[in-house]
Amino acid sequence: MNLYETLAADIEGQVARGVLLEGDKLPSVRQTSQHRGLSISTVLRAYSLLESKGIIESRPQSGYFVRTRQSSMPRPAPLAASAPLELSSEVDVSRLVLSTLRTIRAHGAVPLGSPYPDPAPFPWPRINQYANAIARRSQHWSVMDDLPPGNPQLMRQIARRHLENGLPVDPSEIIITVGATEAINLCLQAAAKPGDTVAVESPTFYAMLHAIERMGMRALEIPTDPREGISIEALRSILSQQRIAACMVMPNFQNPLGFQMPDARKRELVELLASYDIPAIENDVYHELYYGDSHPTSLKTYDTKGLVLHCSSFSKSLTANYRIGWALPGRYTAQVEKLKFLNTLTTPTLPQMAIADYLQNDGYDRHLRKVRKGYEQRARMMAAAVLRFFPAGTRVSEPQGGYVLWVELPQGVDAMKLYALALERKITIGPGHMFSARGSYTNYIRLNYSYPWSKEIEDALRMLGRLAGQLA
Amino acid sequence: MNLYETLAADIEGQVARGVLLEGDKLPSVRQTSQHRGLSISTVLRAYSLLESKGIIESRPQSGYFVRTRQSSMPRPAPLAASAPLELSSEVDVSRLVLSTLRTIRAHGAVPLGSPYPDPAPFPWPRINQYANAIARRSQHWSVMDDLPPGNPQLMRQIARRHLENGLPVDPSEIIITVGATEAINLCLQAAAKPGDTVAVESPTFYAMLHAIERMGMRALEIPTDPREGISIEALRSILSQQRIAACMVMPNFQNPLGFQMPDARKRELVELLASYDIPAIENDVYHELYYGDSHPTSLKTYDTKGLVLHCSSFSKSLTANYRIGWALPGRYTAQVEKLKFLNTLTTPTLPQMAIADYLQNDGYDRHLRKVRKGYEQRARMMAAAVLRFFPAGTRVSEPQGGYVLWVELPQGVDAMKLYALALERKITIGPGHMFSARGSYTNYIRLNYSYPWSKEIEDALRMLGRLAGQLA
For chain B, say whether A147 makes contact (Cβ under 8 Å): yes
SS3 of A351, please?
helix
Q: Which residue of B has its CA nearest to A132?
A: B132
Partner B, chain A 413-452, Cβ-Cβ below 8 Å:
none
Q: What is the pLDDT of residue A235?
A: 96
Which residues from B are below 8 Å from A136, CB to CB? 128
CB B395 within 8 A of CB B57: no
Query: Predicted confidence band at B77 (pLDDT cuts at 50, 70, 90)?
Result: very low
What is the per-residue pLDDT across B402-451, written as a single tens digit (0 to 9) for each?
Answer: 999 999 999 999 999 999 999 999 999 999 999 999 889 999 999 999 99
CB A177 within 8 A of CB A171: no
Question: What percent of chain A is helix, strand and coil (3-state, nearest 5)?
Answer: 45, 15, 40
- Round to whole Å and give the CA distance between A85 and A83: 5
Cβ neighbours of residue A433 under 8 Å, at least 6 residues apart? A93, A96, A415, A416, A439, A441, A442
Mean pLDDT of B348-374: 94
CB-CB neighbours of B229 under 10 Å: 23
Q: What is the pLDDT of residue A143?
A: 65
Partner A, chain B 205-224, Cβ-Cβ below 8 Å:
210-211, 213-214
Mean pLDDT of A231-239: 95
In angstroms, the separation between the Cα of residue B349 and the nearest Cα of chain A is 7
Which residue in B181, B187, B345, B451 has the most chain A C-beta atoms within 10 A of its own C-beta, making it the best mutation to test that interface?
B345
- Round to whole Å and give the CA distance between A166 and A31: 47
The CATH number of A121-364, from 3.40.50.261, 3.40.640.10, 1.20.1250.20, 3.40.50.620, is 3.40.640.10
Average pLDDT across chain B, whole number: 90
Q: Which residue of A has its CA nearest to B336?
A: A214
In the CATH hierarchy, which fold is given to the domain comprising A367-471?
Aspartate Aminotransferase, domain 1 (3.90.1150)
Look at A116 and B144 and tell me if their CB atoms are within 8 Å.
yes
- Round to whole Å and give the CA distance between B156 and A104: 23
Look at B338 and A94 and tell me if their CB atoms are within 8 Å.
yes
Which residues from A are below 8 Å from B208, CB to CB? none
In the CATH hierarchy, which fold is given to the domain comprising B122-364?
Aspartate Aminotransferase; domain 2 (3.40.640)
What is the per-residue pLDDT across B259-281, written as a single tens digit (0 to 9) for each?
Answer: 999 999 999 999 999 999 999 99
Q: C-alpha distances in angstroms, A187 versus A184, A280, B111?
A: 5, 9, 33
CB A448 within 8 A of CB A377: no
- Round to whole Å and give the CA distance between A323 and A178: 5
For chain A, say whether B119 makes contact (Cβ under 8 Å): yes
Look at A345 and B179 and tell me if their CB atoms are within 8 Å.
yes
Query: Predicted confidence band at B27 (pLDDT cuts at 50, 70, 90)?
Result: confident
Mean pLDDT of A258-269: 97
Q: Which residue of B has its CA nearest to A127?
A: B135
Residue A292 has pLDDT above 80, yes or no: yes
- Round to whole Å and give the CA distance between A119 and A104: 15
User: Per this entry, what is the length of chain B?
Assistant: 472
For chain A, say whether B107 makes contact (Cβ under 8 Å): no
- Round to whole Å and give the CA distance between A448 and A386: 12
Query: Residue A226: how many CA atoms within 13 Å on its side-chain side?
Result: 18
Q: What is the pLDDT of residue B140?
A: 59
What is the per-residue pLDDT across B34-65, written as a single tens digit (0 to 9) for each?
Answer: 878 888 888 988 988 888 888 888 887 788 88
Residue of B94, B136, B349 with shortest CB distance to A321: B349
Partner B, chain A 287-326, Cβ-Cβ below 8 Å:
315, 320-323
Q: Which residue of A has its CA nearest to B145?
A: A105
Q: C-alpha distances in angstroms, B266 versus B77, B257, B273, B296?
A: 22, 16, 11, 11
Mean pLDDT of A130-149: 80
Q: What is the pLDDT of residue B86?
A: 58
Residue of B142, B323, B339 with shortest CB distance to A116: B142
Which residues from B are below 8 Å from A214, CB to CB? 339, 342-343
What is the per-residue pLDDT across A153-176, written as a single tens digit (0 to 9) for each?
Answer: 999 999 999 999 999 998 899 999
Question: Which of A100-104, A346-350, A424-428, B250-254 is predicted with the least confidence, judged by mean pLDDT?
Answer: A100-104
Cβ neighbours of residue A84 under 8 Å, at least 6 residues apart? none
Query: Predicted confidence band at B250 (pLDDT cuts at 50, 70, 90)?
Result: very high
Q: What is the pLDDT of residue A58?
A: 85
For chain B, say whether A144 makes contact (Cβ under 8 Å): yes
CB-CB neighbours of A164 under 10 Å: 11
Query: Predicted confidence band at A420 (pLDDT cuts at 50, 70, 90)?
Result: very high
Which helix or strand (DSSP H or E) is residue A313 part of? Answer: strand A308-313
Query: Predicted confidence band at B155 (pLDDT cuts at 50, 70, 90)?
Result: very high
Q: What is the pLDDT of residue B159?
A: 94
The interface predicted TM-score of the complex, written ipTM, equals: 0.81
- Round to whole Å and give the CA distance between B315 and B181: 10
For chain A, say whether B351 makes contact (Cβ under 8 Å): yes
In angstroms, the separation between the Cα of residue A267 and the nearest Cα of chain B is 30
Q: What is the pLDDT of residue A379?
A: 96
> What DSSP state is assigned to residue B57?
E
Which residue in B129, B130, B178 has the most chain A C-beta atoms within 10 A of its own C-beta, making it the best mutation to test that interface?
B178
Q: What is the pLDDT of residue B73?
A: 41
Q: Which residue of A has its CA nearest to B95?
A: A338
Mean pLDDT of B385-390: 96
Residue A113 has pLDDT above 60, yes or no: yes
In angstroms, the separation between the Cα of residue A101 and the nearest Cα of chain B is 8
Query: Predicted confidence band at B72 (pLDDT cuts at 50, 70, 90)?
Result: very low
Q: What is the pLDDT of residue A139?
A: 63
Mean pLDDT of B306-334: 96
Q: What is the pLDDT of residue B71?
A: 39
Q: What is the pLDDT of residue B80?
A: 40
Residue A327 has pLDDT above 60, yes or no: yes
Q: What is the pLDDT of residue A32?
A: 85
Q: Which residue of B has its CA nearest to A350?
A: B321
- Round to whole Å and give the CA distance between B160 and B151: 14
- Counting one residue from chain A and one from chain B, the pairs whose CB atoms sit within 8 A come to 133
- Round to whole Å and give the CA distance between A48 and B166: 81
- Round to whole Å and give the CA distance between A417 and A466: 13
Q: C-alpha distances in angstroms, B466 versus B390, B431, B447?
A: 7, 17, 16
CB-CB neighbours of A373 under 10 Å: 11
Q: Where are the domains of chain A?
A: 3-66, 121-364, 367-471
Which residues from A are below 8 Å from B338, CB to CB? 94-95, 98
In the CATH hierarchy, which fold is given to the domain comprising B366-471?
Aspartate Aminotransferase, domain 1 (3.90.1150)
CB-CB neighbours of B251 under 10 Å: 28
Query: Predicted confidence band at B78 (pLDDT cuts at 50, 70, 90)?
Result: very low
Look at A345 and B338 and tell me if their CB atoms are within 8 Å.
no
Question: Alpha helices, DSSP H only, in A142-262?
Answer: 152-164, 179-191, 206-214, 232-239
Q: What is the pLDDT of residue B49?
A: 86
Residue A45 has pLDDT above 70, yes or no: yes
For chain B, say whether A182 makes contact (Cβ under 8 Å): yes
Residue of A179, A344, A348 with shortest CB distance to B322: A348
Name the CATH architecture for the domain at A3-66. Answer: Orthogonal Bundle (1.10)
CB-CB neighbours of B363 under 10 Å: 12
Average pLDDT across chain A, whole number: 90
Residue of B119, B344, B350 with shortest CB distance to A182: B344
Look at A119 and B140 and tell me if their CB atoms are within 8 Å.
yes
Query: Predicted confidence band at A74 (pLDDT cuts at 50, 70, 90)?
Result: very low
Query: Predicted confidence band at B82 (pLDDT cuts at 50, 70, 90)?
Result: very low
> What DSSP state is assigned to residue B437?
S
B65 or A298: which carries more pLDDT confidence? Answer: A298
CB A324 within 8 A of CB A340: no
Residue A63 has pLDDT above 90, yes or no: no
Q: What is the pLDDT of residue B106?
A: 66
Query: Predicted confidence band at B224 (pLDDT cuts at 50, 70, 90)?
Result: very high
Which residues from A are below 8 Å from B143, CB to CB? 116, 315, 320-321, 323
Look at B339 and A178 and tell me if their CB atoms are within 8 Å.
no
- Round to whole Å and give the CA distance between A385 and A68: 16
Mean pLDDT of A260-282: 98
Query: Predicted confidence band at A86 (pLDDT cuts at 50, 70, 90)?
Result: low
CB B226 within 8 A of CB B262: no
CB-CB neighbours of A90 under 10 Å: 11
Look at A321 and B116 and tell me if their CB atoms are within 8 Å.
no
Q: What is the pLDDT of residue A72?
A: 39
Mean pLDDT of A144-161: 91
Q: What is the pLDDT of residue B202?
A: 94
In angstroms, the separation between the Cα of residue B24 and the nearest Cα of chain A is 35
A425 or B59: which carries more pLDDT confidence? Answer: A425
- Round to whole Å and give the CA distance between A317 and A299: 20
In angstroms, the separation between the Cα of residue A52 and the nearest Cα of chain B is 46
Phi and psi (nearest 5°) for A247?
Answer: -130, 130
Look at B213 and A148 and tell me if their CB atoms are within 8 Å.
no
Which residue in A345, A349, A448, A451 has the most chain B C-beta atoms within 10 A of its own C-beta, making it the best mutation to test that interface?
A345
Q: What is the pLDDT of residue B17?
A: 64
In chain B, what percentage of residues exceed pLDDT 90?
69
Q: What is the pLDDT of residue A141?
A: 62
| Closest C-alpha to A261, from A310, A293, A228 | A228
Q: What is the pLDDT of residue B75?
A: 47
Pairing between β-strand B218-225 and β-strand B197-202 as defined by DSSP bridges: parallel
Residue of B94, B321, B338 with shortest CB distance to A141: B321
Residue of B94, B181, B321 with shortest CB distance to A338: B94
Residue of A131, A148, A178 with shortest CB distance to B178: A178
Q: What is the pLDDT of residue A450?
A: 96
Question: Which of A27-41, A256-270, A374-388 is predicted with the least confidence, judged by mean pLDDT?
Answer: A27-41
- Round to whole Å and give the CA distance between A172 and A341: 16
Residue of B105, B143, B210 with shortest CB distance to A320: B143
Q: What is the pLDDT of residue A103?
A: 83
Which residue in A102, A143, A346 has the most chain B C-beta atoms within 10 A of its own C-beta, making it the best mutation to test that interface?
A143
CB A300 within 8 A of CB A327: no
Residue of A147, A344, A351 with shortest CB distance to B101: A147
Q: What is the pLDDT of residue A80?
A: 39
Q: What is the pLDDT of residue A409?
A: 96
| Closest C-alpha to A108, from A456, A466, A382 | A456
Mean pLDDT of A196-207: 96
A140 or A6: which carries more pLDDT confidence? Answer: A6
- Round to whole Å and give the CA distance between B377 and B443: 26
